[in-house]
Chains A and B, each alone.
Chain A
């Protein structure tokens, strides 16, 4: 062996002798350094705790109306006041938040799952299959999501599971298009060519190389999908087409509030509105942080 031995890989790194930490750990480390993303994760945790654990500390009746308590401003007993039908608003915020979060999470994840499969199939097969599958998504995307949602919601009366299905049936389109592009790009990478030259087949290409390399995009997109789904729930409720009362969610609460702007029931509007903004922003921050983290870990710092 006459080749000159190389220096240590990078002598400036203190841990040059140790193995490089795995991808998952490095992703987490980069994510944790992103303050906005971390803040988003904390806000999300706080909101989840508020909606699902809050009723233990602040139990209220969210089924029966109590007109004697209607339209009270925030004060003792009702920290955020009461609604036009006498529900305690703080309790209702927790109760409605559960619907928003549950439906949003379930619909967002379902849409991501289906969209990813659809996009991966189109991108992997390419050619005519891809062209046909993509024209279908083009057409469906041409009709604005909200219009489709409204038509479907007007045809069927939503319950929670139905609402999840309706939203997912519209929301899968954009991840499908995204993942298809990703699969198409990955298919042409040199490392796929190298693997084929070793005698590897399509299965190995998809499961060992394409899927692991696309998974980051899928995860990031999932967070944005959940954020979008929560917004869709709110829009549908706002337009009066969501789960009928006494069920509630943040969108329908806002919709009620709009009727009372003239009389100055401001507490009916700001708490649910701010809750929606917070949860959607939190998911967006998390997604952005994840995207940076997944991107950075493949580069030299």
Chain B
């Protein structure tokens, strides 16, 4: 193709460090036309970021291109000297990184950083550059841009910082924008705003774009073509619609099936399955380490369809029609046993685990009850902090909810909404500053020391980062034994038996007892964390973001395990997550939190299908469904969450609410059940069937 803007041919990248070399990229071919948007998806370590970084020669220390070409506008950037590269960077190719906090210099003003590329690549004076910087900040939707020029990065919120980063990348009006996980560090509502902004700017400036992400939902409606990467190679590449409709590579297929929260069936044509009752398809095992170059297909060890040839030979990209290399625009895949593209040819049963999930036994017996629970923290530490009238952060403000025996209660909310604080109060790690926590009918505050100790057996916490929650000096055996020792359960032999049983339960080999926590992968650590939480046979497990640090395929393993153990042991869960899909998949009942308040709560199906609170509605509308044809739903939320140190009067959501009136500013809406019993909402103008839609 002669009209391509960027063309990558057989790119190889190696990263040397600590006496070993990682073969990060092993023969990548990509092609991008001017104005085109390409998505690169894959799990961590698949090489997607390395591909993006190698275009601009920004590989990390020890990394170098060992083969292949990167033709940008006719120049081979892989072989270009530093001055040539410098002239491209920030000028004709702009780049946006993942974490907007760390990718800005903390001690330089926004203005200096945004204007910097102009001073490097144009002849503008400093004053002219700053004027252009202000204009660009306005373009990326920064309120009061003139003021912001003199601010420092820490004075802006995460979303605003990412806008600054985008302004920096765009100020020289590049022909290609590379965005590496631009929204991963942001909250869902902010994520949506940033993706919309990038879309709009791309159309306006006619740029090409490479969007690198792990999130299939992000990519579905934002790009023209997609490349799926696995183990340093391209597994499949195609235009976005054919890829989502009929994935050909077995890895792509499995990846789609492992996604929680699918309002539609994973593969076109099969019978609809509802998200909550279906166990997720999992991909067993872990991605290859790439220290030694694998022989054969890199996915073969984890693939249910692998045969001898997959282990012996490396599949090349093909369009499945003939043996010639596929055209750049063709639907190409590197698999010996691709899926059959004919409609209905791939019954879902083949990739889904056979056992249909039986719903857990739910009862109406309340297990955990929070009654008007609040938590405030002093804003400044130190001896004078408790003084009357000193600034306070209202992390949780008057929340009441009930978790019944055998059910899963999900709490959703964005970062800083107080959901983790709520979880810590539920397990008794922190005492509420107002209201009370009842467990099994007893107020925790009234328990004696001895009773509290016994109570610990009933409630356990599953940490977001199980590794941090295990003493690094203890072997796994000692970690799992500790709760039994503390509670004086069993003798030596009995404890040993129980530990073996726990490891069986969570699917880890019994030999794990002799190893240290650092030797396990992220998913295995979460299994260990769950095993320890279950050691005391609790009736309630509070899980704080149990899978947010994991890749999709591993995440599915853990979510299935949690559900399975719930069925076997009759557990109740309080699951806390920012991820609507995770909560939707696990929870029977749902509570939605915003700025320390529970704005809506009720049975999961009802809350997700017919949200009553404008915030819930907005959250659901911002979810990026992994479907290129999904209609742009409703009205995603604008604005930003106010500070919990100074929450708005009346309804805390009113500053971002499309339906807010004067009443919302003066009066806090009382919880009500306007439609069905058990589905409560705290809003003056709930979105009931009778109300006019605000969308």
Contact = CB atoms under 8 A, between A and B. Distances in A.
Interface of A: 1-10, 12, 17-20, 23, 128, 131, 189-191, 193-200, 204, 208-209, 212-213, 298-301
Contacts of A212: 471, 473
B504 A1 contact: yes
A19 B515 contact: yes
A42 B414 CA distance: 57
Contacts of B166: none
Query: Contact size class for B?
Result: 35 or more
A37 to B, nearest CB: 18
Interface in B551-581: 557, 560-561, 564
Contact of B285 (A7, A131, A197, A298): A7
B524 A23 contact: no
27 contacts: A1-B505, A2-B353, A4-B507, A6-B284, A6-B507, A6-B509, A6-B524, A20-B514, A190-B465, A190-B469, A193-B429, A193-B469, A194-B469, A194-B532, A196-B429, A197-B456, A198-B482, A198-B483, A199-B454, A199-B483, A199-B487, A208-B471, A212-B473, A213-B473, A298-B472, A298-B516, A298-B518
A199 B486 contact: yes
B536 interface: yes
B286 interface: yes
Contacts of B486: 195, 198-200, 204
B285 A20 contact: no
Interface string B332-374: 0000000000000000000001010000000000000000000
Interface in B272-293: 282, 284-286, 289, 291-292
A189 B286 CA distance: 28
A2 B564 contact: yes
B468 A199 contact: no
Chain A contact residues: helix, strand, loop or mixed: loop
Given A3-B557, A193-B461, 6 more contacts: A4-B507, A6-B508, A6-B524, A197-B459, A213-B473, A300-B519
Contacts of A300: 518-519
Q: With a 10 A CB-CB cut-off, give which of A198, A200, A209, A212 has the most chain B CB atoms.
A: A198
B482 A195 contact: yes
A189 B472 CA distance: 11
- 3 interchain residue pairs of minimum CB distance: A19-B514, A3-B507, A199-B456
A9 B525 CA distance: 11
A30 to B, nearest CB: 13
Contacts of A10: 519
B512 interface: yes
B470 A191 contact: yes
Interface in B421-466: 427-429, 452-454, 456-457, 459-461, 463, 465
B514 to A, nearest CB: 3
B387 to A, nearest CB: 16
B475 interface: yes
B536 A198 contact: yes
B305 interface: no
Contacts of A190: 463, 465, 468-469
A6 B473 contact: no
Contact of A213 (B284, B469, B472): B472
Give the most central of A195, A199, A298: most B CB within 10 Å: A199
Contacts of B509: 5-6, 8-9
Nearest to B18: A301
A291 to B, nearest CB: 16
Contacts of A209: 471
Contacts of B520: 9
Contacts of A193: 429, 461, 469
Contacts of B561: 3
Contacts of B235: none
Given A3-B507, A6-B507, A198-B482, A191 B487 contact: no
B506 interface: yes
B516 A20 contact: yes
A213 B474 CA distance: 10
Contacts of A6: 284-285, 507-509, 524
Q: Which of A6, A17, A18, A193 has the most C-beta atoms of chain B within 10 angstroms of its own C-beta?
A: A6
